[in-house]
Structures are given as structure tokens and as C-alpha cells.
Amino acid sequence: MSGLVIREIHKSYGPVPALSDISLNVENGKFLCLLGPSGCGKSTLLRIIAGLEASSRGQILLDGRDITKVPPHLRDFGMVFQSLALFPHLSVGGNIAFALGIRGASREVQRREVERLLDLVHLPGIAERSIMQLSGGQRQRVAIARALALKPKLFLLDEPMSALDAKLREAMQVELKRLQQELGITTLLVTHDQKEAMTTADLVVLMSRGVIQQVAPPLEMYRKPANTFVAEFIGATNLIDATSLGGGRVQVAGATVTIEQAPPVGQFTFSVRPEDLNLKDEASSSSLVGRIAFTRHLGASIEVNVSVDGMERDLVVAVPARQESSLSIGRPVHVHVNSATCVVLR
Ligand code: ADP
């Protein structure tokens, strides 16, 4: 197969495996995010792909060629790390052209390439400037330009935006996505920020404790989480314990609601997003009765906590901001469950 193939990679530092049997196919030209909480093994996996770390077992293939034992400098990958690791004693141009110089490119070729790459990252004309004179966002772009100088087959980024403030970070995420689409370069980004993954990736790989939990496009992962961990990690959700009554009807805290997806026999848990619950004054054929416990403004919407008798946790409902007047604390409400949006979890 063309692209990157990761086969049954395993890595142990001590008794607990950092990575357990990781297998993954990445088509050429795709933008993939390795996502998960701190310590789940994302960086270890990226470092193994880069060749900076050896796996305990398993194989890595690029366009059909086994590169498991190829040293990092012969893999033709571009890398950007959290620290950026720019050379402070070199100019912007000197940093970007560094690897080209080592490969013996003439001064003229280096000058042209620096110009092209600075245009690409929207920083034209700053080749002579010192790295120390740049802002955090500009350094970021220079690090990206430097990583792209050798036209790498694979572009690897390990939390490169975590030091930037929130606004700049969002702007850089959009920039990175634009650049990746423009160049069509296969890109792997490590992040613990689910919004960053949702904004940039074609495919999200969500990991926990060294194991892949789900591989899916962002929206699919949001809409059809594979298990409880995924449902909770990606966006806000309600996890509801239920008992199957047959025919799509399920019992929840003394009431019955309908869910479209066939529920398993007996007890199970399903996930429903806050925007898929509606507050109504009247009961429906699929609703729970409760009282408004707490509200929180989020700008375009209001997050409403509804306490329901017999349920351990409040239900969280997203309500359009214009409905604010109907949201007084203590008010009885019916929470209508949109049956098509409930996802049965393993
Ligand atoms: P993440 O990038 O998801 O935060 P890492 O890949 O850095 O996670 O780490 C995965 C696990 O492996 C963690 O439990 C971490 O403590 C452990 N680990 C990573 N690198 C080393 C190392 N060089 N020596 C020992 N343990 C390590």
C-alpha cells in the first residue's frame, strides 16, 4: 500500500506498556491527528515514526518500503517540536536553509528556497532578521518553513502550538491546515487539544493508555463515538444509564424514551450531546421530567443543567441564547431526547 503503514507497534519502558499493538494506515496527502490525554503515548508513537526512538516490536512502512530500522536523518521527514529548536545564532534564512546547506545546495538555490518558503508561511522578506527579533507566532512559522525545506515525504509535528496564546493558536491551526492542503503533504500532528484535532485533521486517532480507542474523521468521531472514553473526550456529552424494554423503548430513571439505534438486551449506557436534547413545557413520547438546576452562558448558547429524579448526574442541555427568559432556576421542564442522536456505548 502507498502511504504510511504502522503495523503492531509495541513499546515498553518498564512494566506498563507505553504503546500496545498500534496499527494504522495513513494515505498519502492526509492530515492525521494523534490525540489523547497527557501520557497516552502520542509523542512516543510520533518519535518511533520519526526514527528517534526504537519500538520494542512492530514495523513501519512508507510507500511499501520497510523503514523500521532506517536512521532518522535518512527518512526524509520534516519535524517541528514544541520547543521549535531554532538555532538562535543563525538568521531566519540561515535556519531555513540549514539542511539545504548540509546537502550541498548552492547559495543561489538556498536563497531562492528561503524566499519561496517564507512566502509560503506568509513572512516574506524577513530572511536577514535574527530569530531573537521574532514573535512567538513568527518563530512558529519559521520552524514550519525549516521543516519543509527538504520537501519531506512526511511532516511530523509534536504539540508545536502549545506555547502560543489562544487566539494565535487558532490562527496557526487554520494556517497549518491551509498549508497542508496547498502542499498535499502527509502530516501527523500530536495534540492533547480536541478542538485543535477537530479543526485540522482529516482523520483523528484517539489514544488512551497506549491503546488506540478510535480512528475516524472528526465529525464521525463526535457523532458516533466508539466507547465511553471517546464520547467524553470529544466535546461535551451526557452519558445515560438505561435498561432495554424492547422495540426501541428504553427505561431511564423511571421514564421511558425511544432510541433509534437498536439497544442491547438489559442494562447499557448511551451518549447524547447537549445540543440533541430540547427543553419543552409539555411531555413528549420521549422525554424526562426535571428541574433547572444551573445555567451558564456560552455566547451563542446557554448550557442548562437539569436535575432529574433518579439520575446521578444532571443532564446538560444546550439552549439557544434567545430562549434565556424561560430558564429560571427551579423551573420544572421536560427534556426531550432526540432518538436519532443517541449512541449506544460499549
Ligand atoms: P504523551 O505524548 O501522550 O503525553 P508520551 O508518549 O510522552 O505520552 O508517554 C507515554 C508513556 O511513556 C508515559 O507513561 C511516559 O511516562 C512514558 N515514557 C515516555 N518516554 C519515556 C522514557 N524515555 N522513559 C520512561 N518512560 C517514558
> In DSSP terms, which residues pair with 217 in a beta bridge?
none
| Residue 145: exposure state from Cβ atoms within 10 A (0-12, 13-18, ≥19) | buried
Separation of alpha carbons 189 and 200, rounded Å: 9
Candidates 1.10.3720.10, 3.20.20.70, 3.40.50.300, 3.30.930.10; CATH matching 4-230: 3.40.50.300
* Matching fold, domains 4-230 and 236-345: no
pLDDT tens across 168-222, in order? 888 889 989 999 999 999 999 999 999 999 999 999 999 999 999 999 999 999 9
* Domain segments of the chain as ranges: 4-230, 236-345
| pLDDT at 85 (0 to 100) | 84
Contact 278, 299 (CB under 8 A): no
Measured by CA distance, the residue closest to atom 15 of ligand 1 is 39
Ligand 1 neighbour 205 (Cβ under 6 A)? no
In order, the DSSP letters of 177-231 are: HHHHHHHT-EEEEEES-HHHHHHH-SEEEEEETTEEEEEE-HHHHHHS-SSHHHH
Ligand 1 neighbour 37 (Cβ under 6 A)? no
| pLDDT at 277 (0 to 100) | 97
Ligand 1 neighbour 18 (Cβ under 6 A)? yes
Ligand 1 neighbour 13 (Cβ under 6 A)? yes
Q: Report the amino acid identity of residue 23.
A: S
Separation of alpha carbons 311 and 290, rounded Å: 10
| pLDDT at 64 (0 to 100) | 94
* 30's grid cell: 492526509
Best residue among 9, 13, 20, 211 to mutate for probing ligand 1's pocket (most ligand atoms within 8 Å of CB) is 13
Q: Is 316 helix (H, G, I), strand (E, B) or coil?
A: strand
Measured by CA distance, the residue closest to atom 7 of ligand 1 is 43
Nearest CA-CA partner of 304 in 285, 324, 284: 324
Nearest CA-CA partner of 235 in 341, 108, 78, 103: 341
Separation of alpha carbons 304 and 48, rounded Å: 44
C-alpha distances in Å from residue 11, one per residue of 98, 158, 211? 33, 18, 11
Nearest CA-CA partner of 257 in 267, 266, 244: 244
Dihedral sign for Cα atoms in the order 193, 198, 202, 208? positive
* 207's grid cell: 489514544
Which residues 6+ apart lie within 8 Å of 283 measured at CB? 289, 334
Separation of alpha carbons 4 and 8, rounded Å: 13
Q: Which residues of the chain are modeled with pLDDT < 50?
A: none
Ligand 1 neighbour 42 (Cβ under 6 A)? yes
Separation of alpha carbons 53 and 35, rounded Å: 19
Ligand 1 neighbour 38 (Cβ under 6 A)? yes
> In DSSP terms, which residues pair with 213 in a beta bridge?
none
Task: Give alpha helix (H) positions in the chain.
Answer: 42-50, 92-102, 107-120, 136-148, 166-183, 194-200, 218-223, 228-233
Q: Name the E strands within 238-331.
A: 238-246, 249-252, 255-258, 267-272, 277-280, 287-297, 301-307, 315-320
Best residue among 34, 44, 159 to mutate for probing ligand 1's pocket (most ligand atoms within 8 Å of CB) is 44
Contact 302, 222 (CB under 8 A): no
Under CATH, what is the fold of the domain 236-345?
OB fold (Dihydrolipoamide Acetyltransferase, E2P) (2.40.50)
Angle at 270 between CA 264 and CA 275, to 5 degrees: 145
Ligand 1 neighbour 40 (Cβ under 6 A)? yes
* 66's grid cell: 520497510
CA of 139 from ligand 1 middle (Å) equals 27
| pLDDT at 99 (0 to 100) | 85
Q: Of all atoms in ligand 1, which is nearest to the CA of residue 207? A: 3
pTM of the model: 0.90
